[in-house]
Amino acid sequence: MSKQNSINFVVTIIIALILSQFLPWWSVMVAGFVSALFFSLKKAAVFFVPFLAILLYWSVYAFIVSSVNDFTLAKKIAVLLPLGGNPYVLILVTGIIGGLAAGISALLGKQLSMLAGR
């Protein structure tokens, strides 16, 4: 992982962490977008670095919240969605959804930063 990739990865998580305290779920889209504006990446990394950053952030967050309660509700939501009642699959899906949102908005950020000539 290049230095720029690592910086983008960490910055995305930090921005998401801060913004999510007072913004709705799309704070992760803002995080992906902003870090792409300032820490421009190349090729697939533009999408995948923020994708993985938020996948990690949301999955770990979900795991921490739910594990103290023995995944009681997570197991039920994993029936509802339906994911075979497996809470770990639900955690992964949660991460992927967040990551996807962040990765896509990062693509937009990258295009804007190129337009600005960075």
Binding site for other proteins (CB under 8 A): 20-21, 24-29, 33, 58, 61-62, 65-66, 68-69, 71-74, 76-77, 79-80, 82, 90, 93-94, 97-98, 100-101, 104-105, 107-108, 110-112, 114-115
Which CB atom, from 3 or from 64, has the smaller least distance to other proteins?
64
- Identify whether the C-beta of residue 62 lies closer than 8 Å to the C-beta of residue 95: yes
Which CB atom, from 3 or from 24, has the smaller least distance to other proteins?
24
Residue 87 has phi, psi (to 5 degrees) of -65, -30
For the bound state, the minimum distance from the C-beta of residue 68 to other proteins, rounded and expressed in Å, comes to 8
The Cα–Cα gap between 75 and 116 comes to: 47
The Cα–Cα gap between 111 and 43 comes to: 12
